[in-house]
A = this chain, B = another copy of it.
Amino acid sequence: MGVMTRWLDPDEQRTWRAFLAATRGLMENLDRELQRDAGMPHAYYEILVRLSEAPERRLRMSELADVTGSSRSRLSHAVARLEDAGWVRREDCPTDRRGQIAHLTDAGFATLAAAAPGHVEGVRRHLFDALTPAQVTQLRRISETLVDHLTGS
């Protein structure tokens, strides 16, 4: 208590507000496009992507939660929904009776394969096409720094 607040100076203020507007707008565009073209939100798309990259297209729920940066609860609800759609199936883990393994079905893979080109195009259009190569590098360094900082604190 008693410590004066270090308010944002005008430059920081401007940076923060632009950052908010940019990330919000970007994610809203991608989310809307993905919902329209593939019938799923971006968070669900990410789950399918990570599963598709895993050995045998299988991943423990906890690992899947980690790599997608999702809470266990959120993942649980999401996978339930993806299972309803027939894109993912849950299996018991042979080595840990608590565990569940999420498995991307063929139908799920096909849906992902159909959605991916449009989505990648969207990422390009809304993000990479707007930036110079130098800015892309800067954005990568900044993002990686922030990820380290977030997980480190």
Interface residues of A (CB under 8 A from B): 5-8, 11-12, 14-16, 18-27, 29, 46, 69, 116-117, 120-121, 123-131, 135-151, 153
Contact = CB atoms under 8 A, between A and B. Distances in A.
Give the 4 A-B CB pairs with smallest separation, nearest first. Answer: A18-B143, A130-B149, A22-B146, A5-B117
B22 A128 contact: no
A138 B140 contact: no
A20 B50 CA distance: 14
A148 B129 CA distance: 12
A150 B126 contact: yes
Contact of A124 (B6, B21, B130): B6
A149 B127 CA distance: 9
A150 B20 CA distance: 13
11 contacts: A5-B120, A8-B124, A11-B136, A15-B136, A19-B127, A20-B69, A21-B69, A22-B147, A22-B150, A24-B69, A129-B149
A142 B135 contact: yes
B121 A146 contact: no
A65 to B, nearest CB: 13
A116 B150 contact: no
